[in-house]
Structures are given as structure tokens and as C-alpha cells.
Amino acid sequence: MSDSASPEIAVIGGSGFYEFLDDPREVDVDTPYGKPSAAIAVGRVGGRQVAFLPRHGKRHQFPPHAINYRANMWALRALGVRRILAPCAVGGLRDDVAPGDIVVPDQLVDRTYRRVQTYVDSGAAHVPFADPYCPDLAGTFAVNEGEVRTGGTMVVIEGPRFSTRAESRHYAAQGWSLINMTGHPEAVLARELSMCFVAIAVVTDMDAGVSAQEAVTQAQVFAAFAQNIEKLKGILERVIGDLPPRGECGCASWAEGIDLPFELPDHRHTVEHRSA
């Protein structure tokens, strides 16, 4: 892939985003960690080259705990991506959010237990993660006041099952406002690869513990996300079109002076092209 065609921005999301790209083409990328969830589509959004990766695969064949997160992040970095916008479906835990809200959280709590969440397999390379999302990317959504809420904590559970009422109430009691199954380890892997990352949470339901009447179903979640996808696409298109040059957010500089046990991939890695 030529330098001029390298996408610096990526969107990770559901298959509904294929229509988000103008003139898409697909690119196969091999990584040291296997294949990503699918071939990566590259097209134009808001006048910019953008990569799109379906998190769960083209046919939603990978459940949250079986996604090859390391391959996904590595493949995007190898294509030239340095900034990632990651829409995801979430449940609401507290009455400060409601179905239909779009929220850019500023904190994350990991409650997964089967996932490999690092590229550091040897040596000492401890990534700072006090603030898990890129402040510059998160700030670009603040201009969409009225459509996007900013702030809040997203707890990520292993899945694929939904929470019990007791678990849900426990999470809410901690002050956490959103619950999700895919937001980790995407964010920390992106940070290890010196990429900027932000989650864009679409609230599809109120979780089981919010009231005695609430109980989450897959059909409910999928339907609610589909109802909000056009709104989400519009917001993302405006944000992508208005993104300023990458600043001094710190996402890219954390590893300065650290001897990483892996070499950061870049767009000079070999990729195979094919039409979408």
C-alpha cells in the first residue's frame, strides 16, 4: 500500500459500517498473532482515508471472548492507522444514562479474565493506563453537544452472557454507568502500540439490576443499536472530517526510553489487496 493511500484513522464496529465508506477496497493483513476478525476495508469518509474493521467478523462469528484483539490492533497499526474510533453497544447501569444515548466514557474497569491483554511477553515495559482513552480524541466529540455525552465509567465483563441482577447492582453501586463486553483489551492494546483510542458507547438498554422489570435480551440490544446507527454514522463523519492533526496527547510517546520487547509495525509491512 502506498504512503498516500495509508489510512491514519480507523473505525472498529459492526458490519453496518461497511456502507459508511466511499469507494471501499479490502486489504488482507497477516500479523504475528494470526488473522484479524476480517479483511480491513479502506475507503473515504469526510475527505479522509479511513480503515474499517468489523470487530466480531463479517458474519458476527466471533463472540466477545473469542475476538483476536491482538491481531485486530496490530493489523490496523500495520496499515498506518494511528487513531481509532471504537463504537460499541453498552447497557446502562444508572439513571444518568438512558437507551438511545451516545456516550464517550473517560474511564474503564476490566472485569474480563480469559483475554490476552498485552504484547509484552517478556521484559519490563509497563504501559501507563490511568486515563485509558485519548483526551484529544475524546475532546473532538464535545462539539456534538446534545447528541453525545462525555464522561463516565464503562465496566467490561467477559461475556458472552449478560449480568445477573446482583452483579448489575454491584457495578452500579461502584458508580459505574455503562457495561460492555468488548471495550477491553482494545484500549490497552492500542496504547501499547502508541495509537490514540476512544470508545463511543451506544446505550441500547438498561441493565438487569436497574429495576425489577428490566432484563436484557440479545434481540433488544441488536435492534436498539440498529435504530441508532445512522445517528452514530453522522456523528462519526463530522468528527472524522474535523479531526485536527494528531497532537501531543501522550498516546504515542509513553514508550520513549523504554526497551519494548516487540517492534512496532507500520504501513511498510506487506499486505495483500483485493476489491470489496
Dist CA 112 CA 188 (whole Å): 13
Q: What are the residue numbers of the active site? A: 205, 207
Establish if 252 belongs to a structural domain: no
Apex 67 CA angle, 196 and 63, nearest 5: 125
Note the pLDDT of residue 230: 87
Give me the helix-helix angle, 69-79 and 183-192, nearest 10°: 40
Dist CA 111 CA 170 (whole Å): 12
Residue 43 dihedral angles phi and psi, to the nearest 5°: -155, -160
The domain total for the chain is 1
Establish if 249 belongs to a structural domain: no
Note the pLDDT of residue 220: 81
Neighbours of 276 (CB within 10 A): 13
Note the pLDDT of residue 270: 46
Establish if 98 belongs to a structural domain: yes
* Grid cell at residue 122: 517478556
Note the pLDDT of residue 274: 53
Establish if 92 belongs to a structural domain: yes
Note the pLDDT of residue 90: 95
Which CATH number goes with the domain that contains 150?
3.40.50.1580
Note the pLDDT of residue 3: 42
Note the pLDDT of residue 273: 52
Establish if 82 belongs to a structural domain: yes
Q: By the 8 A CB rule, do 20 and 59 touch?
A: no
**Which structural domain, as residue segments, surrounds residue 8?**
3-244
Note the pLDDT of residue 113: 95
Establish if 88 belongs to a structural domain: yes
Note the pLDDT of residue 219: 81
Note the pLDDT of residue 164: 94
Q: Residue 209, class by beta-carbon neighbours within 10 Å (0-12 exposed, 13-18 middle, 19+ buried)?
A: buried
Q: What is the mean pLDDT of the chain?
A: 89
Q: By the 8 A CB rule, do 127 and 155 touch?
A: no
Establish if 257 belongs to a structural domain: no
For the chain, give the longest Cα–Cα distance.
Answer: 56
The pLDDT profile of the chain, 276 residues, written as one tens digit per residue, is: 444 468 999 999 876 677 788 989 999 999 999 999 999 999 999 889 999 999 999 999 999 999 999 999 999 999 999 999 999 999 999 999 999 999 999 999 999 999 999 999 888 889 999 999 999 999 999 877 679 999 999 999 999 999 999 999 999 999 999 999 999 999 999 999 999 999 999 999 998 877 666 677 888 888 888 888 889 999 999 999 999 999 889 999 998 888 888 888 876 544 555 544
Establish if 234 belongs to a structural domain: yes
